[in-house]
Chain A
Amino acid sequence: MEFSELIRTGRAQAQLLRGPEAPPLRGTLCVTGHHLLLSPGPQSTPDLWLLLLRNVDSIEKRVAGDSGTITLRCKDLRVLQLEIEGVEATLDIARSIEALSSLESVITSFPFFYRPKGLRLGDAWHFHPPERYYKRVARETDAWRLSEVNEDFSLCPSYPRAVIVPRAVDDDALARSARFRQGGRFPVLSYSHSPSGTVLLRSSQPLTGPQKRRCAEDEELLRAVLAGARPGARGFILDTRSAQAAKQARMTGGGTEAKAAYPGWKRLHRPLERGRPLQESFVRLVEACGDPEQSMDRWLSRLEGCRWLAHVKEALSTACLAAQAMEREGACILVHGAEGTDSTLLVTSLAQLILDPMSRTMAGFQELIEREWIQAGHPFQLRCAHSAFSHARPKHEAPTFLLFLDCVWQLGRQFPLSLEFGEGLLLALFEHAYASPFGTFLCNSEKERCLCEVRTRTHSLWSGLNQPKEQRKLQNPLYVLNPLAIWPSVEPQSLRLWQGLFLRWTHPPEPAEVAWEKVWQIVTGKEETEASQPTASA
């Protein structure tokens, strides 16, 4: 295997430091093509799989005397410290990990080798095809059709093969509209809100440019949207950039819809942070969380200074605005920013969670992620190439998906009974988005996934997560179907730092686990057994 060229030393004697309260773990450290293992010895416990090398975000080595220390900072925010015997071994191991963790090739990544017992290749990949969501829409309205105009990904490389568009617009018109939108992302249906007969659409920015160009087919498409919705419906174009930024985009060929060209549609600007500032915010928050010795004042000012919670607030309130306009105003909404692959998806997916009880179930939420993030072309590979610890200069990295998960967590905290899934699922999604044995979050678009044959050569995360043994970790035992919209409070007092994620490795997890156990006992009615055997608990 070609990995062997990158592995300078496969083995070394090492010990894993486990903080002040636990003794270090000794054993033989092994570097394989995809993993780091610690084997405690022949007779004792089985090998400890330290981590997937892909999970390593940054590596720091230090040598002193005849041994060395390696600090691995992981994408899931864990920090591992290893003490390794021998200076040479330390440096070799560090170099091997560095080389293996930064491999860019998709088809040599671990998902292509991962063959777990009990799962069949190809399972669950067809859980959430666009046809399925279309069927749901078609049950309520016939104003929409499933178009396969993007069959060969030529129209829009970041869209899936099939998209839902107004029935009144033919494929040729779609092709013209696609040419008028950045990256070919013409307006498509994201969610149809049947109680109010309105729809949520998403696209990228129109290419109006400095000459304020127009596109008749694009205008026709949006007109058809209003015609197909509730009679008398109006529309709002929710631009996730500031009015000024949208105007400036004209200089580089982009821009925003001219009011006169789209009768019935009104524009709203809700600037959301994206790209590098968002990544920096994430880095600063994680930095602040990694320093337990700082004073209270310092911690609070750093928490505020990183502005992460401000981003959570902005994202949530923008999604609420969209949802409110649909539910209360009976308006149709088109969301876009520039590319339409980041903050756009953040807003459309959160708005659905707020409005749609289906998307708050376990299966519905997975479908939402598949449809609104993976198939909608959020460039996971670029955005999640590095997490908060990397020293590399960020290029395309941004924790947009993490911001989405955080917003969902806030919803779950404010409506503890209304989500069928618990924090466990959100944590798992965060981990798998950054480093995973499954293929679900690989690549940047359906087109790339198709080229790499991800669907046939890797396992789907959903089949991994939906195994019965995983369910207890992922489910919310308190769930009761709530058929109504859930309107969160977005005031600063109502938003909390997501301790379960950001302080996951510094926070002793036991008290929360004990509480969770108790919740399960109460809900499943197993409580009496505990009471009758008071000594059973450990």
Chain B
Amino acid sequence: MKRALEHLKVENVRLVDRVSPKKAALGTLYLTATHVIFVENTPDSRKETWILHSQISTIEKQATTATGCPLLIRCKNFQIIQLVIPQERDCHDVYISLIRLARPVKYEELYCFSFNPMLDKEEREQGWMLIDLSEEYKRMGLPNNYWQLSDVNRDYRVCDSYPTELYVPKSATAHIIVGSSKFRSRRRFPALSYYYKENHASICRSSQPLSGFSARCLEDEQMLQAIRKANPGSDFVYVVDTRPKLNAMANRAAGKGYENEDNYSNIKFQFIGIENIHVMRNSLQKMLEVCELKSPSMSDFLHIKAIMDAGIFHRKVSEEGASVLVHCSDGWDRTAQVCSVASLLLDPHYRTLRGFMVLIEKDWISFGHKFNHRYGNLDGDPKEISPVIDQFIECVWQLMEQFPCAFEFNERFLIHIQHHIYSCQFGNFLCNSQKERRELKIQERTYSLWAHLWKNRADYLNPLFRADHSQTQGSLHLPTTPCNFMYKFWSGMYNRFEKGLQPRQSVTDYLMAVKEETQQLEEELEALEERLEKIQKVQLSDTKVKSKQSEPSRHSGFSTSDNSTANTPQDYSGNMKSFPSRSPSQGDEDSALILTQDNLKSSDPDLSANSDQESGVEDLSCRSPSGGEHAPSEDSGKDRDSDEAVFLTA
């Protein structure tokens, strides 16, 4: 890192506070091979802001003003940084360098190849073994009488975007599979995504058939027949096309399309209507504009509802016991969304911390979701970029809001996964397929995010999780009537760096702290009781100990720090055009860490080191993206002068 720091250095740069643009921190800007770093010059704090190049979404050079040349950096994790560089020439240099650095052309340039969390080789290998899909298929009860592991895609001979290990119906011979694959876009033939062992129903996935207006394929028809036969409980298969009908019809002209019910025996076909990646990309763009402008309208949601509605077909699996084949065009975007939402609703295992990692590994990573193209890790076609997995993550959050006790993990877990999908700090989400990852020897050259998350799992637990409650066991029951009311704006994600917009106190952190304290007190009690016994044995007076034992009041441990959850008033004077929240960087000043965080920090210094490297600003917010504990009284003291008289101008 030291060496890289000399890459490019500009002095007297100002980091503009998005709250009150007049307030700006003066400091030095460094460009390294992997990060943009801004170090404040103020004598009392040398606060650092770190931004990974891979997080940078757009860089905008704005018109030069008297004070310098402004540069606006928007990140994929929704952070926005505005810098003012005194010299036009320096600004241009930074701009040109950043454009180059933010758009690497080779995988080797990505951060994960230089990132080293100080683990030895063995630990790294163990990390990669943490999530094992063959274990997962075993958990589902496979192989069994109906399903078997097929080696037809060995060396990616049939389909280069599929994994090598795939489960197919026992009655589907290699001949049928290969035949069917030739009739499917990108040769993505129907393969098993989830097996519901209670009633033998399954969720399979594929790409669209190359049916055109009248083409048929005997092997493909046999393939669907085989899927139906693999489920003795039902005499038909649902085929779900996740596209709007119009799009699917249009595809027929290009020789693609959808299954004709007449050609396949015993299928029931239906459309769901999730828009394509281009619509989704524009939708996110619009929403982010809304977030930024602070216009009081929020009429553009991601198309979460359609995905959720699609996920509701899980009822067909759990209640009707019918198997389902899901596809869209290529079967790697909408299909992945729908299969994973359905699995999540069906199986409580996927609602646990480890299960959720398995789910992403299974439906997204192994089945060839094009991470590199969708999230623009390497410089490529901007039309390929689309927030497909972001939507899935938001779906999960919406479900968490509706079922607060059903998930073992919390909001922070989702936000960190989203962050790392873009950060390229870990190798999990690199490339577009398993084949590419193997060729690049990802597992030998990078580290696994899952191991990192698992190690810090205490940070990601949902204190309200009730695994044993009837409501959270088995499949989750969404209301039968589709209801729009439930969907909320996820400010924890989209305004993640505008801490002022978040709830100022975190219920999750508070409850975790209470839980921990309860546990500690109990241990203490136990220890004291033990001691008491000993003391009594030695025939000593025990009064002192007893009184001590009853003394610690439940909340005393953290009440003081929690109490100081003050914040500063924003500009309420009505001129709402200005960016009113507190600056993202203020997160660093928040020294009022509540109990858990102190404990975690000491118990795991490695973690803080990591997040430091990742992005200094994020350091604290990283641990409590939900807003949490805020500025103690000293903070309000600091801000007093600057906030003064703001409203007087009105």
Contact = CB atoms under 8 A, between A and B. Distances in A.
Contacts of A530: 468
Interface stretch (B31-39, B137-145, B292-300, B337-345): B292-300
B432 interface: no
Contact of A487 (B483, B555, B568): B568
A312 to B, nearest CB: 11
Contacts of B402: 511
A300 B485 contact: no
Interface residues of B, number: 77
B439 interface: no
B254 interface: no
Given A296-B301, A515-B404, A538 B470 contact: yes
Given A416-B503, A417-B505, A527-B515, A518 B481 contact: no
Contact of B466 (A491, A512, A537): A537
A80 B302 CA distance: 35
Nearest to A482: B563
A321 interface: yes
Interface in A300-342: 300-301, 304, 309-310, 313, 317-318, 320-321, 323-325, 327-329
A481 B503 contact: no
A418 B565 CA distance: 9
Interface in A495-530: 496-497, 499, 503, 506-508, 510-512, 514-515, 518-519, 522-523, 525, 527, 530
A63 interface: no
B299 A297 contact: yes
B510 A417 contact: yes
Nearest to A510: B471
B636 interface: yes
A468 interface: no
B126 interface: no
A328 B518 CA distance: 39
B555 A480 contact: yes
B514 A522 contact: yes
A3 interface: no
Given A482-B565, A490-B572, A518-B405, A414 B647 contact: no
Given A292-B485, A489-B581, A514-B466, A494 B491 contact: yes
Given A329-B644, A417-B562, A299 B466 contact: no
Which of B563, B633, B640 has the most chain A CB atoms inside 10 A of its CB? B563
Given A480-B559, A480-B563, A489 B570 contact: yes
B24 interface: no
Interface string B553-590: 01100010011111111101110000011000000000
Contacts of A496: 488-489
A449 interface: no
Contacts of A506: 483, 485
Given A416-B503, A480-B563, A484-B633, A304 B491 contact: no
Contacts of B643: 324, 328
A420 to B, nearest CB: 13
A294 B650 CA distance: 41
A116 interface: no
B605 interface: no
B495 interface: yes
B511 interface: yes
Contacts of B403: 511
Interface string B432-464: 000000000000000000000000000000011
A268 interface: yes
B515 A522 contact: yes
A481 B566 contact: no
B539 interface: no
B504 interface: yes
Nearest to B499: A489
B565 A503 contact: no
A329 to B, nearest CB: 7
Nearest to B404: A515
Contact of A519 (B480, B511, B636, B645): B511
Contact of A321 (B291, B501, B572): B572
A292 B487 CA distance: 13
A156 interface: no
Contacts of A189: none
Nearest to B558: A480
B479 interface: yes
Interface in B512-565: 514-515, 518, 554-555, 559, 562-565
A481 B572 CA distance: 25
Interface string B299-310: 111000100000
A418 B506 CA distance: 11
Contacts of A534: 468
Contacts of B298: 300, 304, 492-493
A483 interface: yes
A20 interface: yes
Contacts of B488: 496
Contacts of B86: none
A416 B463 CA distance: 15
A293 interface: yes
B484 interface: yes
A512 B466 CA distance: 12
Nearest to A310: B296
A518 B489 contact: no
Contacts of B644: 328-329
Contact of A494 (B472, B501, B554): B501
B253 interface: no
Contact of B471 (A313, A483, A503, A511): A511
Contacts of B300: 300
Contacts of A313: 296
A8 interface: no
Contacts of B491: 493-494
Nearest to B563: A482
13 contacts: A300-B484, A301-B299, A413-B503, A480-B562, A484-B565, A489-B581, A491-B581, A515-B464, A518-B463, A519-B464, A522-B463, A522-B464, A522-B514
Given A328-B643, A417-B507, A499-B485, 5 more contacts: A324-B647, A328-B640, A415-B505, A511-B471, A537-B468
Question: Closest 3 interchain pairs by CB?
Answer: A515-B404, A484-B566, A487-B569
Interface of A: 20-21, 268, 270, 289, 292-297, 299-301, 304, 309-310, 313, 317-318, 320-321, 323-325, 327-329, 413-418, 478, 480-487, 489-494, 496-497, 499, 503, 506-508, 510-512, 514-515, 518-519, 522-523, 525, 527, 530-531, 534-535, 537-538
